[in-house]
Amino acid sequence: MKVTVIGSGYVGLVTGVCLSDIGHEVKIFDINQHKIKMLESGQVPFYEPGLEKILKRNVKKNNLFFTSQERFAFADTDIVFIAVGTPPGLDGEADLTYVFRAVQNASSYMKENSIIIVKSTVPAGTTEKLNSLCKKLVPNKNLTVASNPEFLREGSAVKDFYKPDRIVIGANNDVIHEKIKSLYALIETEYCLTTPESAEMIKYASNALLAVKISFINEVALLCEEVGADVEEVALGVGKDKRIGSSFLRAGIGYGGSCFPKDTEALIYLASQYNKEMKIVQAAKEVNDRQINWMLDHINQSATQIEHAKIAVLGLAFKPETDDIRESPALRVIDYLLQRKAEVQVFDPKAMPNTKNQYGTTLSYHETVEAAVENTDIVLVLTEWEVIIKHLPAAINSMISKPVIIDGRNCLERIKLNSDIRLVQVGKASEET
């Protein structure tokens, strides 16, 4: 099929590149010409394992194109995916300006009977509003707008594309369901064929429930510390119950990224528009906002004085295998440390360029774990990158004056550290020094 994807951001690029890889002829459209040029030369503007290789392969095969030209993008295509941003407004409401603009723009070029698929995360009811818009703008074209939310995770998006747990398609009739299903014919998975409103809700409810799971275990973790339990063992035991499942029960310094914080807010806002409250989601958000205090409290307990203390921050990305620092808990920790005039030495294998853009020379950047921890009083582990887990123990063991390690991701093993090193972890009773 001939497919056009609007938006070369995270969702659009992964979707477009992978759709070309399963045999479709794909054009990725973006108004940002600089980005289009970068992509044409085979460069992916963010770090996502495996993506660049697939992109280059399909550009070479001539079934993947990048463009800013509207006519070329939309005039001869069967399906247009909308994958533009839906950033949160001040009250949490998802801003749909880009979505509506994209549909308005594409529909004027699209041929009759083609389909627009909304991939962007949008509040329930949006797809139907877009259907009405198309009927108004191009009444004779018989365009259909459907919903097909995405569940890719940053850092494993390519893997998630090929092996999704499910594909959700929201449309008002079975012909459209089947047409969209046939796009994914090569992917073996379960399909949820439903209405646009239900598909839109599935996306928000999924992200919100995952956020609830994380905040729940984070609350349990704080209590574990008080009663002398170990949250990792508790999560293991709880997760063995198939009705609960073991994933998203890793306690830590809270969730970040461009999805959970934004989507929980948008869901709370959506409910408020119907005079409803999402009390559990609201609580998950509050617990998450508060969870960073665990780290800040431990920093205060570990330093005799924070002013001019040398503190290493290991991990800046909101999770491993990405260079994305949006809503990363690390940023809140850094802001606090800078405000308290600490000297902050940072390391992240991928996210340092993005961090430099935001913080400039207020931080000192180091290319290795060893260099970042040198001469520090406290070492904070904020993202569970493999390279940090591998190199940190030996680096600390070899230091003469040993810093305290505060592991906000519970990724270090006590056994790998010398016995005189103080290791603080989430949801574990404080250990003897």
CB of 33 to ligand UGA, least distance (A): 26
For residue 362, say whether it is annotated as part of any ligand binding site: no
Q: Is 259 a catalytic residue?
A: yes
Q: Tell me how far apart the alpha carbons of residues 221 and 177 are, in angstroms, rounded to a whole number.
A: 43
Nearer to ligand UGA, 150 or 348 (CB): 150
Q: Tell me how far apart the alpha carbons of residues 256 and 325 are, in angstroms, rounded to a whole number.
A: 8
- Enumerate the H helices of 340-408 as residue ranges: 352-359, 369-373, 386-397
Contacts of 232 (CB under 8 A, 6+ apart): 251, 410, 427, 428
Nearer to ligand UGA, 256 or 403 (CB): 256
By CB under 6 A, the residues from 181 to 210 that bind ligand UGA are 207, 210
Residue from 390, 431, 385, 376 nearest 408 by CA: 385
For 222, counting Cβ atoms within 10 Å of its Cβ (0-12 exposed, 13-18 middle, 19+ buried), the class is middle
| Residues 369 and 412: beta-carbon distance below 8 Å | no
Which pair of structure tokens corresponds to residue 352? 């340092």
Nearer to ligand UGA, 47 or 65 (CB): 47
- With binding defined as CB under 6 A, does residue 152 bind ligand UGA? yes
CB of 123 to ligand UGA, least distance (A): 14
CB of 366 to ligand UGA, least distance (A): 22
State which of residues 214, 314, 412, 423 lies at the interface with ligand UGA (CB under 6 A): 214
Residue from 4, 129, 142, 15 nearest 79 by CA: 4
Q: Per-residue x/- mask for ligand UGA, residues 282 to 321, rule CB under 6 A?
A: ------------------------------------xx--
Which pair of structure tokens corresponds to residue 19? 């759709």
Nearer to ligand UGA, 285 or 402 (CB): 285
Which pair of structure tokens corresponds to residue 356? 């430099």
- With binding defined as CB under 6 A, does residue 72 bind ligand UGA? no
- With binding defined as CB under 6 A, does residue 385 bind ligand UGA? no
State which of residues 12, 123, 170, 257 lies at the interface with ligand UGA (CB under 6 A): 257
- With binding defined as CB under 6 A, does residue 151 bind ligand UGA? yes
State which of residues 16, 196, 256, 408 lies at the interface with ligand UGA (CB under 6 A): 256
Nearer to ligand UGA, 92 or 403 (CB): 92
Q: Per-residue x/- mask for ligand UGA, residues 109 to 148, rule CB under 6 A?
A: ------------x---------------------------
Nearer to ligand UGA, 176 or 259 (CB): 259
SS3 category, 39: helix
Q: Tell me how far apart the alpha carbons of residues 80 and 169 are, in angstroms, rounded to a whole number.
A: 15
Q: Which residue has the tokens 């260099």?
A: 371
For residue 216, say whether it is annotated as part of any ligand binding site: no
Contact region with ligand UGA (CB under 6 A), list: 29-37, 76-84, 169-177, 246-254: 246-254
| Residues 94 and 158: beta-carbon distance below 8 Å | no
Q: How many CB atoms lie within 10 A of CB 264?
A: 26
Number of residues forming the site for ligand UGA (CB under 6 A): 21
Which pair of structure tokens corresponds to residue 211? 């956020």
CB of 113 to ligand UGA, least distance (A): 30
For residue 249, say whether it is annotated as part of any ligand binding site: yes
Name the phi and psi angles at 83, rounded to 5: -135, 50
Contact region with ligand UGA (CB under 6 A), list: 128-136, 193-201, 242-250, 344-352: 242-250
Contact region with ligand UGA (CB under 6 A), list: 27-35, 129-137, 167-175, 247-255: 247-255
By CB under 6 A, the residues from 6 to 35 that bind ligand UGA are none
Which pair of structure tokens corresponds to residue 229? 């339990």
Which pair of structure tokens corresponds to residue 144? 């259909």
Contact region with ligand UGA (CB under 6 A), list: 65-73, 254-262, 278-286, 339-347: 254-262
| Residues 426 and 221: beta-carbon distance below 8 Å | yes
For residue 112, say whether it is annotated as part of any ligand binding site: no
Q: Which residue has the tokens 């707008």?
A: 145
Query: What b/e readout covers 416-429, taking b as 16+ CB neighbours within 10 angstroms?
Result: ebeeebbbbbbbbe
| Residues 215 and 222: beta-carbon distance below 8 Å | no
For residue 248, say whether it is annotated as part of any ligand binding site: yes
CB of 107 to ligand UGA, least distance (A): 25
Catalytic residues: 259
Interface residues with ligand UGA (CB under 6 A) are 121, 150-154, 207, 210, 214, 248-250, 252, 255-257, 259-260, 263, 318-319
